[in-house]
């Protein structure tokens, strides 16, 4: 059987400098390297920003999302609003609360606050 290994999560962006500023200054991601792409370490996960001028790359309408776990979603939304970042209304769902934010290229980022009983162990099937 073919073995697959996790590589990274990436988003296409139109302006690398603007994207670096958003992900490092607003979200606090640690920049680890920059060449033709930019790499961040997010809790041990490789997250990359890939420059593209192709509009179909930038708004592909795919289903993938970067999801960030937060301890207090209300505080996270208030913080992002102060950073002039538009955030959706907080929604209550079966196992927590969520909201979404878009980066400067329209890539959706999900904010998730798990219920207290699931905070360290989201539902595992």
Residues 81 and 120 in one domain: yes
User: What integer best gives the mean pLDDT of the chain?
Assistant: 84
Q: What pLDDT is attached to residue 79?
A: 93
Residues 33 and 75 in one domain: no
Whether the Cβ atoms of residue 40 and residue 30 lie closer than 8 Å to each other: yes
117 pLDDT above the threshold of 60? no
Whether the Cβ atoms of residue 8 and residue 16 lie closer than 8 Å to each other: no
The tens digit of pLDDT for each residue in 40-93 reads 999 999 999 989 877 666 665 665 678 898 999 999 999 999 999 989 999 998
Residues 79 and 125 in one domain: yes
Does residue 3 form part of some domain? no
Segments forming the whole domain that contains residue 98? 64-125
Residues 42 and 73 in one domain: no
Residues 68 and 48 in one domain: no
Does residue 2 form part of some domain? no
Calculate Rg over the CA atoms of the chain.
Answer: 15
User: Domain count of the chain?
Assistant: 2
Q: Which residues touch 121 (CB under 8 Å, ≥6 apart)?
A: none
Neighbour count for residue 44 (Cβ, 10 Å): 5
Q: What pLDDT is attached to residue 61?
A: 61
Q: What pLDDT is attached to residue 26?
A: 95
Q: What pLDDT is attached to residue 7?
A: 78
């Amino acid at each position: 059987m073919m073995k697959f290994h996790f590589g990274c999560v990436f988003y296409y962006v139109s302006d690398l400098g603007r994207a670096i500023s958003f992900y490092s200054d607003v979200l606090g991601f640690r920049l680890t390297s920059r060449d033709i792409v930019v790499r961040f370490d997010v809790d041990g996960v490789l997250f990359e920003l890939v420059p593209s001028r192709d509009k179909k790359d930038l708004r592909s309408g795919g289903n993938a999302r970067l999801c960030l776990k937060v301890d207090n979603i209300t505080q996270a939304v208030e913080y992002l609003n102060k950073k002039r970042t538009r955030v959706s209304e907080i929604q209550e769902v079966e196992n927590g609360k969520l909201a979404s934010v878009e980066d400067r290229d329209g890539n959706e980022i999900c904010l998730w606050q798990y219920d207290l009983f699931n905070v360290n162990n989201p539902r595992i099937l």
